[in-house]
């Protein structure tokens, strides 16, 4: 038996039937161009306004999400606010510095980015040459918030240094001469530092500042590597707002030299993480921002870092650092639950903590009333470290 092939116009017939049937419903019409083969879809006029509105909303939603992800460094870090921040000078604030002599010093980060430091030192016995007879030298590394520059902040820091200078020797005369040096690091892109800020870059900056402090200690006390009379460093790290995240990043990184392992972290108006801040600032479910955390390049996760710090210290047989939290009672940026969660996290991982709440302070005002508490904490903690080392 032979075979034969029949070509029937089945598909064109079906296409024509579907097109005619859908067109008869009044929903849309579809037709093919004679040569292009492209399908053209039209919708009724009464559907154009809502379709246009929905399209614009989706486009705006997508655009806002894209801008939040691609420009997150510019959104998080504001070195140009206020506009004069990049041009501030320490000399402009001299009369507000309580007689403390601050120096602007420049150093290089690990990637050769030029960084500015503001450095000042005081001694509990001012009538003795500062590098002689010092049994302990306390170094405080300060990491600022996400806006402005260092010079406007030096007034409160000078007040604290002055109190350390005048009160520590009176409270603890048995410890002899103790030197206090504060090193305020200006992140890349801030004040007179070069570069552009990012979490990875600023992490490098804080590590470079620690190396600078280590070198400073070695150069100041070249004999301190031998004998029982060597000058011992005591290292504290202090961060304000976003700086608290960099403080916990630094302490959790495991890159700090053993002789400078921080004995205390001062967290001023801290938050849990950037992800948690997105949820706090944009709680509305219809906003896209809090759903974009998988695309974040900045995390500053202090909640996770505290666990890492405790684990690293336990592995090395070291005591965990003391945590001091300065909280603003009327903080308009960071919710109260963030400090509560950090305290709970400290208790969970076995890190001792102390909190002082400034009941009437807003986010940037906590230091005004809290500086006395910070000074007292530094003095008390220094005395505890000295007593512990002498008893060992």
pLDDT in tens, 237-284: 999 999 999 999 999 999 999 999 999 999 999 999 999 999 999 898
Lowest mean pLDDT among 119-123, 127-131, 228-232, 321-325: 127-131
Q: What are the phi and psi torsion angles at 176 (to 5°)? A: 70, -150
Is it the case that residue 127 has pLDDT exceeding 70? no
The DSSP bridge partners found for residue 236 are 140, 264
Tokens describing residue 116: 């500015």
What residues contact residue 382 under an 8 Å CB cut-off, 6+ apart? Answer: 136, 138, 168, 172, 178, 234
Above pLDDT 90, what percent of the chain? 71
Cis status, amide bond into 82, omega within 30 of 0: yes
The DSSP bridge partners found for residue 293 are none
* Cα-based distances in Å from 56 to 42, 43, 59: 19, 17, 5
Measured CA to CA, the distance from residue 299 to residue 249 in angstroms comes to 10
Measured CA to CA, the distance from residue 366 to residue 178 in angstroms comes to 28
Q: 243, 255, 150: which is closest to 193 by C-alpha?
A: 150
- In terms of Cβ atoms closer than 10 Å to its own Cβ (0-12, 13-18, 19+), residue 18 is exposed
Q: Compute, in degrees rounded to 10, the torsion defined by CA atoms 105, 298, 149, 332.
A: -150
pLDDT at position 229, please? Answer: 63
Is it the case that residue 126 has pLDDT exceeding 80? no
Measured CA to CA, the distance from residue 188 to residue 210 in angstroms comes to 15
Is it the case that residue 392 has pLDDT exceeding 50? yes
Tokens describing residue 166: 């005048």
pLDDT digits (tens, 9 = 90+) for 282-334: 898 888 888 888 999 999 999 999 999 999 999 999 999 999 999 999 999 99
Is it the case that residue 37 has pLDDT exceeding 50? yes
Tokens describing residue 388: 């512990």
Q: Band of the pLDDT at 133, cuts 50, 70, 90?
A: confident
Task: State mean pLDDT over 208-223.
Answer: 94
Is it the case that residue 25 has pLDDT exceeding 60? no
Tokens describing residue 212: 């600078």
pLDDT at position 13, please? Answer: 45
Average per-residue pLDDT in the chain? Answer: 89
Supply the pTM of this predicted model: 0.86
pLDDT at position 43, please? Answer: 75
Measured CA to CA, the distance from residue 381 to residue 238 in angstroms comes to 13
Q: Which domains does the chain show, CATH number per domain?
A: 1-42 (no CATH), 77-269+301-391 (3.40.50.1820)
Is it the case that residue 30 has pLDDT exceeding 70? no
* Cα-based distances in Å from 260 to 88, 137, 144, 237: 31, 11, 20, 11
Lowest mean pLDDT among 38-42, 177-181, 229-233, 368-372: 38-42
pLDDT digits (tens, 9 = 90+) for 61-119: 888 888 888 899 999 999 999 999 999 999 999 999 999 999 999 999 999 999 999 99
pLDDT at position 51, please? Answer: 85
Q: What does the H/E/C string look like for the chain? A: CCCCCCCCCHHHHHHHHHHHHHHHHCCCEEEECCCCCCEEEECCHHHHHHHHHHHHHHHHHHHHHHHHHHCHHHHHCECCCCCCHHHCCHHHHHHHCCCCCCEEEEEECCCCCEEEEEEEEEECCCCCCCCCCEEEEEEEEEECCCECCCHHHHHHHHHHHHHHHHHHHHHCHHHCEEEEEEEEEECCCCCCCCCCCCHHHHHHHHHHHHHHHHHHHHHHCCCCCCCCCCCEEEEEEEEECHHHHHHHHHHHHCCCCHHHCCCEEEEECCCCCHHHHHHHHCCCCCCCHHHHHHHCCCCCCHHHHHHHHHHHHHHCCCCCCEEEEEEECCCCCCCHHHHHHHHHHHHHHCCCEEEEEECCCCCCCHHHHHHHHHHHHHHHHHHHHHHHHHHC
């Amino acid at each position: 038996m032979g075979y034969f092939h029949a070509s029937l116009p089945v598909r064109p017939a079906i296409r024509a039937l579907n097109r005619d049937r859908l067109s008869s419903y009044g929903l849309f019409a579809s037709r093919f161009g004679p040569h292009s083969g492209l399908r053209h879809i039209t919708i009724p006029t009464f559907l154009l306004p809502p379709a246009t509105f929905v399209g614009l909303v989706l486009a705006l939603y997508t655009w806002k999400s894209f801008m939040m992800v691609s420009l997150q460094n510019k959104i998080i870090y504001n070195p140009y606010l206020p506009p004069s921040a990049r041009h501030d000078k320490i000399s402009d604030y001299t009369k507000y510095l309580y007689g403390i002599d601050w120096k602007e010093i420049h150093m290089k980060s690990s990637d050769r980015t030029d960084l500015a430091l503001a450095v000042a030192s005081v001694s509990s016995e001012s009538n003795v040459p500062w590098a002689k007879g010092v049994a302990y030298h306390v170094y405080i590394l300060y990491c600022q918030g996400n806006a402005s520059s260092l010079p406007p902040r030096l007034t409160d820091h000078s007040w604290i240094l002055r109190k350390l200078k005048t009160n520590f020797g009176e409270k603890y005369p048995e410890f002899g001469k103790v030197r206090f040096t504060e090193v305020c690091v200006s992140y890349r892109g801030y004040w007179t530092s070069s570069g552009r800020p990012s979490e990875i870059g600023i992490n490098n900056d804080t590590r470079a500042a620690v190396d600078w402090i280590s070198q400073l200690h070695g150069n100041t006390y070249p004999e301190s590597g031998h004998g029982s009379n060597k000058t011992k460093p005591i290292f504290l790290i202090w961060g304000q707002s976003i700086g608290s995240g960099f403080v916990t990043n630094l302490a959790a990184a495991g890159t700090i030299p053993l002789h400078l392992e921080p004995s205390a972290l001062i967290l001023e108006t801290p938050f849990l993480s950037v992800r948690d801040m997105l949820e706090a600032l944009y709680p509305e479910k219809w906003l896209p921002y809090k759903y974009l955390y998988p695309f974040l390049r900045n995390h500053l996760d202090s909640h996770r870092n505290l666990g890492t710090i405790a684990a690293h210290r336990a592995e090395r047989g070291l005591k965990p650092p003391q945590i001091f939290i300065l909280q603003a009672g009327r903080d308009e940026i960071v919710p109260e639950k963030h400090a509560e969660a950090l305290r709970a996290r400290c208790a969970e991982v076995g890190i001792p903590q102390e909190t002082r709440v400034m009941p009437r302070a807003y986010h940037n005002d906590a230091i005004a009333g809290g500086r006395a508490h910070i000074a007292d904490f530094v003095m008390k903690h220094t005395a505890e470290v000295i007593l512990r080392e002498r008893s060992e």
